[in-house]
A and B are shown apart, each in its own frame.
Chain A
Amino acid sequence: MIDPGKVLATFCINGEEQACAFVSHRTLLEVLREDLQLTGTKHGCELGECGACTVQINGVPVLSCLMLAVDAIGQQIRTVEGLADGPALHPLQDAFADLGAAQCGYCTPGLLMTAEALIARDPCPSREAIKQGLAGNLCRCTGYLKIFEAVELAAARMRGENPVPKRETIYGS
């Protein structure tokens, strides 16, 4: 039983242990952003209707706004801050930056976390699989097309290929 008081817990976030005291009914979103200052994870509704708060739990993308922080204790939590290993960007981040898949950048962290899990499951996703896989993340800026193309580009790079973005992707037809 966990009383509605303070909990002192240690989380494993992006491979590192972080201790934190928080009120037990707080969501993982609140604890990440407000108690641990990991503000890379965003929020657009707090009701599971937009995907902006997506993080990975044991590699599975979930909505941190609908998950209690106490339920994340003992799990592997991964946020956008942990996507890149070292100073270089993750291939998905690189591709998003190259193609302008992040405009305002607000939905981007959530999309990256969903897309990373998608590629982990399916290293060569079709356009339809990408559409389906990202169907829980809303974006109001891009019309998604640059995002689809960035996921394809990153997946190809992660497969060890050396793709060049299509000319019409960058300069139009």
Chain B
Amino acid sequence: MLRLPAFTYYRPKTATAAVALKQAHGKDAMFVAGGTDLYPNMKRRQQTPLHVVSLQDIEELHLVEVQKDGSVAIGAMAHLTALEMHPYLQAHFPALAHAIAEISTPLLRNMGTIGGNLLLDTRCNYYDQTHEWRESISFCMKKDGDICWVAPGSPRCWAVQSSDTVPVVCAMEAEVELVSPLGTRRIKADDLYRDDGIQYLTKQPEELLTRIILPAPGSWKASYLKLRRRGTFDFPVLGVGVCLWFDADGIVKKANIRLGGVGSYAIPATDSERLLVGNPLTDELIAAAGTAAMKPARAMDNTDLDVYWRKKVAPVFVARALRACR
């Protein structure tokens, strides 16, 4: 049986206490939310914190608050099942509710949290393996090794951003709240991520993600379309998050397209976005915007499904996600 390595376990009652614990133990400590990402990684010895700080007892992190302007502040510890079923999210943020419902399995959504999903460790099938397996490839640079087997000549790690929610929240310009000993800061979700498989977050180690704030519903529409092998269990190997802002005449004022599962962060399809802005969403435009998304969909051979095929069908998926915004 795969088992967890030994560690000291904490369940602080406040965010301040949690941050203090993390600061006290530095690199040896990690936060845990639902545990569905961290504990498998610990069993495979990909992550080996000596101190684990659980956030489950911090009540404020479980809150889902609809603000007066219609925006929503979701506590990082809100469970995915609760959000997927949340009537307000279903009514006003259907793309996000859908993306959440696409995460893994019902059992894992009963345990996993939105915060955990936003901070999901980047994935790679050279890395998401047991210690013994990784030993057989002399490990990789993300843990215990020197090279990135995805691109051995490369100085960086190519592990993949694999969250279903990240492309949507980035596209819809949601914000996240980070708490640290220095205080609280709020940044755009897009700015939380970096293009690196190891240092994939801009969040400082001692910072705690406390809330995600969704923008008020308005003249925008979002969608999420996921490519995976099976209708459950699987991480996205392409996750298209789209958000389009329209004027009264149906002209696209602003367009955000984020491609998850094909890079270390949710990659913006900027050429496609540019094509869309200032135009009505016609079939021809959708097709052209889709085609322009092939270039940024720089899939690597470290997930399920063939890398070239994933790139070739990216335009189809982007076009379909755009069509869903009509």
A–B direct contact (CB < 8 Å): yes
Q: Say which residue of B4, B43, B105 sits within 8 Å of A51 (CB atoms).
A: B105
Tell me which residues across on chain B come within 8 A of A2, comparing CB atoms.
Answer: 8-10
Please pick, from A1, A27, A49, A61, the residue contacting B10 in the complex, using a CB distance under 8 A. Answer: A1
Contacts of B6 on A, CB cut-off 8 Å? 4, 23, 25
Q: Interface SS of chain B: helix, strand, loop or mixed?
A: loop
B57 to chain A, nearest CB (A): 10
With a cutoff of 8 Å between Cβ atoms, the chain B residues found around residue A61 in the complex are 106-107, 110
CB pair A136 B43 closer than 8 Å:
no
Residues of B in contact with A (beta carbons under 8 Å apart): 1-10, 35-36, 39-40, 43-44, 54, 56, 104-108, 110-111, 231-233
Q: Is A46 an interface residue (CB 8 A)?
A: yes
A134 to chain B, nearest CB (A): 8
A23 to B111, CA, bound (A): 22
Contact assessment for B35 and A67 in the assembled complex, using a CB-CB cutoff below 8 Å: yes
Cα A10 to Cα B14 with chains together (Å): 26
7 nearest CB pairs, A to B: A136-B105, A136-B107, A135-B232, A4-B6, A46-B2, A47-B40, A2-B9
With a CB–CB cut-off of 8 A, which chain B residues contact A43? Answer: 1
How many CB-defined contacts (below 8 Å) exist between A and B?
A: 84
- Check if A60 sits within 8 Å of B43, measured CB to CB: no
A136→B35 contact, CB < 8 A:
no
What separation, in Å, do the CA atoms of A45 and B8 have in the docked complex? 24
Cα–Cα, bound, A46→B35 (Å): 13
Q: Which residues of the partner chain A approach B35 to less than 8 Å between Cβ atoms?
A: 66-68
The distance in angstroms between the C-alpha atoms of A47 and B4, with both chains bound, is 11
A137 touching B107 in the complex, CB below 8 Å, given contacts A30-B1, A66-B40 = yes
Contact B1–A46 (Cβ < 8 Å): yes
CB-defined contacts of B9 to chain A, threshold 8 Å: 1-2, 4, 24-25, 68, 70
**Cβ contact within 8 Å between B36 and A4:** no
Tell which of B8, B10, B110 has the most Cβ of chain A within 10 Å.
B110
B187 to chain A, nearest CB (A): 30
- Distance of A60 Cα from B106 Cα, bound (Å): 10
- Alpha-carbon distance A23/B256, docked complex (angstroms): 49
Give every chain A residue within 8 A of B10 (Cβ-Cβ).
1-2
Could you give, for residues 1-28 of chain A, a 1 whenever the CB lies within 8 Å of some chain B CB and a 0 otherwise?
Answer: 1111000000000000000000111110
B8, A51: Cβ atoms closer than 8 Å: no
